[in-house]
Structure 1
């Protein structure tokens, strides 16, 4: 896998597991669960949908990555945010006691990597 494809996979994984509500979805009337208000162009850092990530130890890194993604015009969306997402992931790794669940998502094996013992046994059947 090339470095560019690896970076694309990393950012896609980060974005997919985050489940952010950026305003692209069709909201219910008076829905307060969106982090991004497309009418004002503002991000609500206190939105429950962000899970408090904007206020944790890595809050500034999270804000930089999320803001970059929200305002990204690159295709696929967010490809210009790789460095910001990498900085956020590095911060998560530096604080595993606070970000264990986010690190678990990063540790999922990629299909291009070597098989684990469990995967090898399941293919023996």
Structure 2
């Protein structure tokens, strides 16, 4: 599914398309750019190059952890392992360690990580509580 924003009316427009339409490059000249400075994607599969200036990377390629990010991201993009990127785990750990060492710069990324950890903890607590309730019901039946 895709959507665009109509700035004049301030409304979102939702457009539905067939999967084949979504994977086939558009012939529309407005959507295909011959400008080599097009920064709409981080990776260009035609050239095999990574655009480190892509706004979609959110400045992650900049110091102080830019080199660690570039190593991890490059590893993932070029990975041929199955599942993709499984051979890059150590590089991503090094990147995360760098983020933790620079919390003043990467607070947003660390907050996202903490939120994910909190969600996992909540899920584990819910599962434990459900198990305890089931055990209590079983004990009541046996009495």
In structure 1, the gaps of 5 or more residues are: 1-24, 121-125
For the 8 Å contact 2:65–2:99, the answer to whether it is kept is yes
TM-score (normalised: structure 1): 0.65
The residue that corresponds to 1:70 in the other structure is 77
The residue that corresponds to 1:115 in the other structure is 125
Larger strand proportion, structure 1 or 2? Answer: 2
The residue that corresponds to 1:92 in the other structure is 99
Q: Distance in 2 between matches of 1:89 and 1:78?
A: 16
Closer, same or farther in 2 for the Cα pair 1:39/1:102, shift >3 Å? same
Rg bigger for which structure? 2
For the 8 Å contact 2:39–2:53, the answer to whether it is kept is no
RMSD: 2.4
Map 1:1-125 onto structure 2 (within 5 A): 28-30=31-33, 32-107=39-114, 108=116, 109=118, 110=120, 114-115=124-125
Give how far 1:74 is off.
1.1
TM-score (normalised: structure 2): 0.58
Q: Distance in 2 between matches of 1:114 and 1:45?
A: 38
How many equivalent pairs are there?
A: 93
Which deviations, in whole Å up to 9, do the C-alpha atoms of 1:3-52 show, x marking residues without a partner? Answer: xxxxxxxxxxxxxxxxxxxxxx7674226311111111111111111111
Q: Distance in 1 between matches of 2:69 and 2:85?
A: 14
Q: For 1:82, what is the secondary structure of its paired residue?
A: helix
